[in-house]
Amino acid sequence: MKDGQMTERPAPSNPAPSSIDPAEVAKFQAMAREWWDPQGKFKPLHMLNPTRLDYVTTQIAAQFGRDLAAAGPFQGLTLLDIGCGGGLMAEPMARLGATVTGADAAEGNIAIARLHAEEQGLAIDYRATTAEALAADGHRFDVVMALEIVEHVADPAQFIATCRELVAPGGMLIVSTLNRTARSFAAAIVGAEWIMRWLPKGTHDWRRFITPDELAQMTEAAGLRVVDRCGMVFNPLGWNWSLSHRDLSVNYVLTALHDADA
C-alpha cells in the first residue's frame, strides 16, 4: 500500500458469497432518512458516537504511532467503515485526515451519506456494496471498522473472516456489537425499543447478539490477534456513555491486529 491508497487485484470470475441478510438491510433502508437527526430513530447512536470515536481514535493512534493533538493525525491511512450507515463515524475519521471508504448494503443509507458528506465538504468514497465484494476486488485497508453491524449479518463468522481479508498486513480491525446477556435484552430491546421508543420494535434480535468470547474466537479463527476488549456503558443518571474494561455486559468493542508476519 502506497501513499494511503488501497490496493486492488483483478476480480475473480465467480462472485463472492455474501453474509448480507436482506431482511436486516431492509430495516435500515427504511430508516435511512433519519441518520442525521439526533432526536430520530438513530438517537442512541448519536449519543454513543463520541464514546465510540474516543475508543477508535485512541486504538488507531496507538497502533500507527499518531499524535491525536496534531493536525490531520490520520493522514496517509486508509480506512474502511463497513456498514457505515449515514456516515456518523466515517465523517469524523475523514476530518482526522484518513482516506475513508464507507460501504453499506442499503443504497438509501449511501445516498444520505453522500449528500451529507458533500454538504460538509468532505471527500469520502461511499459505495453501495458488501464486504465480500470489496474483498473479492482485492481492496485492503489500514483500518477496518465494523461497528454495530455484526449482529445484523447472516453469518457472523464468515463476515469476520471477510473483514480479515480487508485488513492490510500491519493493520487493524475494530468491531463493536452487543453482548448476549439479560442486561443487554433489558437495555437494547426493552429500554431502547419498547419503553424509550428510540428504535422501531424489532430492530434488534437478542438471539443474534454475540458474547465477547464468541467474537474473540471468530476473530482469532480468522487469523487476527485480539489485543483489546472494552465495554461502552450507558449511565442513565448522567445520561452519558463511558468506556469500561470491566463492564462488557451490554455494548462492547473489540480490536484485533493483522500481524505483518502472520
52 is in an annotated binding site: yes
Contact 103, 134 (CB under 8 A): yes
Q: What are phi and psi of 254, to 5 degrees?
A: -130, 140
Dig out the grid coordinates for 19 from the structure: 453474509
Dig out the grid coordinates for 53 from the structure: 470515536
Pairing of strands 78-82, 141-147: parallel
Long-range interactions of 158-164: CB distance < 8 A, separation 24+: 158/17, 158/19, 159/19, 159/131, 160/215, 160/218, 160/219, 160/222, 161/218, 161/221, 161/222, 162/16, 162/19, 162/131, 162/132, 162/135, 163/82, 163/131, 163/222, 164/219, 164/222, 164/223, 164/224, 164/258
104 is in an annotated binding site: yes
User: Residue 222 and residue 220: Cα distance in Å, rounded?
Assistant: 5
Grid coordinates 463515524 are at which residue?
89
User: Residue 172 and residue 98: Cα distance in Å, rounded?
Assistant: 14
254 is in an annotated binding site: no
225 is in an annotated binding site: no
Could you list the residues known to form a binding site, using ranges: 52, 83, 104, 147
Could you list the residues known to form a binding site for S-adenosyl-L-methionine, using ranges: 52, 83, 104, 147
